[in-house]
Amino acid sequence: MKSSWGLVGLVVLLCAGSWGPVAMAAEPQAVALAKRMAKTSMSLWAVTGPAKDRFQYELGVFLRGIELVYEETHDEKYIDYIKFKVDRFVADNGTINYNSSQLTLDDILTGRLVLTLYEKTKETKYKKAADMLIDQLKVQPRTKEGGFWHKLIYPYQMWLDGLYMAEPFYAEYAKIFHQPSFFNDVAKQFIIMEKRSRDAKTGLLYHGYDESRVQSWADPKTGRSPSFWGRAVGWYFMGLVDTLDFFPVYHPKRAELLAILKRLAVAVEKVQDGKSGLWWQVLDKPKKKGNYLESSASAMFVYSYARGVRKGYLPKKYLKTAKKGYAGIVKNFLVYTSDGGLDYTRIASVGGLGGTPYRNGTFEYYISEPIATNDPKGVGPFMMASIEISHVK
């Protein structure tokens, strides 16, 4: 597949196509909304961006949303856009313009789009680029139990985020290139993370786990961080659903992964806001001053429930949960723009643990971070949720 993208060609492509209300009239509302979101985001990040304009997770989760719009519409402008964005970082010889020595799982996620392009084009450079990411995972530092450190700069720490950043790519690579031994390692990551982060009372997962217990945010007995951050749980939830798409049905660990998914689905449903259908920035503190209904986590949960049911991983009763959540998103978070696009609001711009300045993982920390509009961490999951909810009957 050849791409003739330059700045002029890109602008022409973005201005063309079926963006208008006539073309959308026969579509499900959710698909039309996903296309409007794609229009806005592809215009915002026509050449550079999103965010830090690097080969890392914000690019990956955004392009994953575009990919689902492509799969639904079969409109080549979407896959052309994905190719243009990925090719800004992947050279003709397959090397990726990123710093692999940083050993951060955040840099693995965009590899999913590399695999998509390999499957579509069979260009060798995409196989070589995917191999480069696998080579990073082979040397990624681990806890004593075998769990990936989230980043080299966060020693002995596992974060929920990392399960979405690495595992779906790891599993898809294993399936495409016939590496069955990888699946044991993929399963291990989810199993360890649930074991170390799950709260027995609520069933929810704490954001992080420090094996060394040296971080001030870590409980001295359990190593857990103190809060249930919505988007972190969303990353894990989506990561598990997406990984199961590639996980062999005969694998002895598949049943354990499905059991983890079902436990998590129960816990997340219990903290869904009864009135709006949405989820809170800190999941278990709905009435605490400063907490707010947050849009990226809400989209992630809707996507996970809807896709989980559609794929047969979750009981059909969760369609009600997904529909209620999506209705809340449409009512509370969308702003329609005069050019036929869409703004997605109320996105927590960031959330982490440790670092400089130090993030202590408390309720007060999570509600103190800025709230953004059209952040890729919300835009991508919204498109994903929209496409999945359109399949709900």
Of 80, 106, 107, 161, catalytic: 161
124 with 93: CB under 8 angstroms? Answer: no
Helix (H) or strand (E) holding 41, with range, is helix 29-44
Closest CA to 386 of 65, 112, 168: 65
Q: Which residues of 101-131 are buried (b: 16+ CB within 10 A; e: fewer)?
A: eebbbbbbbbbbbbbbbbeeeebebbbbbbe
Beta-carbon contacts of residue 109 (< 8 Å; ≥ 6 apart): 56, 57, 60, 61, 64, 164, 165, 166, 169
The distance from CA 251 to its chain's CA centroid, rounded to whole angstroms, is 24
- Asked if 245 is an active-site residue, the reply is no
Q: Which residues of 68-96 are buried (b: 16+ CB within 10 A; e: fewer)?
A: bbbebbeeebbbbbbbbbbbebbeeebeb
Residue spans of alpha helices (H) in 213-284? 230-244, 254-270
Catalytic residues: 161
